[in-house]
Amino acid sequence: MTPTIIEQVNSNSTPIIPIVSDTFDAWLQQQSQDIKNLVSVFGFNDHIGNHLCVLDQHRNLEKVFCIIGNSNNPHDFSRLPQELPSGNYSINSDDSAVINAAIIGWGLGSYSFNRYKEHKKCATLSIKDLVKYQKAMETVNATKLVRDLINTPADDMGPTELAIAAASIAEQNNASYQEIVGDDLLQQNFPAIHLVGRASFKAPRLIEINWGKASDPLICLVGKGVCFDTGGNNVKPSTSMRNMKKDMGGAAHVLGLAQMIMRLNLPVRLKVLISAVENAIAGNAHRQGDIVTTRKGLTVEIGHTDAEGRMVLSDALTYASEFNPELIVDFATLTGAARVALGADLPPVFSNESDFNTEIMACSNEVFDPLWSMPLYQPYKKQIVPDIADLRNTGSVPMGGCITAALFLEEFVGDNIPWVHIDTFGWSNGRPGHPKGGDALGMSAMFNWISKRFGV
């Protein structure tokens, strides 16, 4: 995709003049009668996101007025790159917070997935001293990475291709890469990952990326990489299966987050773990009622083969805990129950550290990437304890499904290891800055929180 944000090399750009909505009436009073007439004719008002194009005497585009809020929300700018005429624009402001918001909003709003089909070219934003806004640009780049990975169909983004993408990210950032593939998972004691992925012709694998100085605090990022989810033998209906290429959204999120951490050189040591599988249907697929002994030694009864995400995460969380990190963060497109509880745009966040929930929600609001705290309500744990195994991968009742899933994962996190679990949707149904399709929900929030927690 052609870059839509570039370093400004000349002044040949159309200025975009932001107007804070609260000051609209005062601004209008100061305008010429010609501008007042344009405002009246085109119904330009103080609604955030509105814009007005002004032509010069030769009927060429002279400037653009746009309405923003007073909170520097990037989404105030996100409609512009798709709605403005093609051309080169710049932000007429000396406020770095406004420019930072414009960069992120422009990047989010100009995204299109064009691997298989060309889309309309967007307007281009020129920024002076772009290096000053590296964090904003890396937010845009990481979001694009997440969206591209999720939007790619499963035939082109199976466990094999996801591994290739992860290896490329590792190489670009001078990180080490390794993977455990197929039956080697059994030899090296990752039985739950193998169980879920063994029915696919693309072998299951555990992907591992390591980066950073040995003296820095270790953070483990764990991602659910179910590259397509048929539901297994408890097969999904077609309407539920339609977008299951997105079930590797957790893996996409941790790769995007890892890329931000590495490119912005946070003072941490990073270990990225992705359980990459396809939950396919075949003669050797796992069945409802099967019991597997996980890497931790806990036995799990398969209550439903469509609750496979927590199974592949169980081995990865156990493995992450063996390194005694200072923090484990996992992302997973884990439950429909999370969407029932909070909708598509608001992922729930769980943590075994009560202070984390308040901190993370505050950090998510700062970057306009909302998360909502949910409880690890311990009385519900009895719902995932069956008669013939240590655990069951589904609750005994349908209520509280995202909580029982989180409680299941908690069983595989080592004692006294801080842990955060985000049950993201990884998808947008379409809104400003979030075009329909794969999306990064919670990634920017977690980067903000990790940056603050580890002293940046």
Catalytic residues: 236, 310
Q: How far apart are CA 383 and CA 379, in angstroms?
A: 8
Which stretch of DSSP H or E encloses residue 134?
helix 134-151
- Residue among 162, 173, 174, 244 at smallest CA distance from 206: 162
Residues with Cβ within 8 Å of 363's Cβ and at least 6 positions away in sequence, in order, are 445, 446, 448, 449, 452
Burial 315-324 (b: 16+ CB within 10 A, else e): bbbbbbbeee
Q: Is 341 helix (H, G, I), strand (E, B) or coil?
A: helix
427-428/437-438 β-pairing? antiparallel
CA distances from 18 to 6, 108, 135 (A): 19, 18, 22
Read off the DSSP letter of residue 63. E
Residues with Cβ within 8 Å of 113's Cβ and at least 6 positions away in sequence, in order, are 119, 147, 148, 151, 437, 438
- Residue among 118, 114, 112, 66 at smallest CA distance from 93: 66
- Residue among 406, 250, 184, 389 at smallest CA distance from 314: 406
**Sign (positive or negative) of CA dihedral 309, 374, 241, 383:** positive
Residues with Cβ within 8 Å of 155's Cβ and at least 6 positions away in sequence, in order, are none
Q: Which residues pair with 348 in a beta bridge?
A: 372
3-state DSSP percent of the chain in helix, strand and coil, to 5: 40, 20, 40
Residues with Cβ within 8 Å of 384's Cβ and at least 6 positions away in sequence, in order, are 391, 392, 393, 394, 395, 396, 404, 407, 408
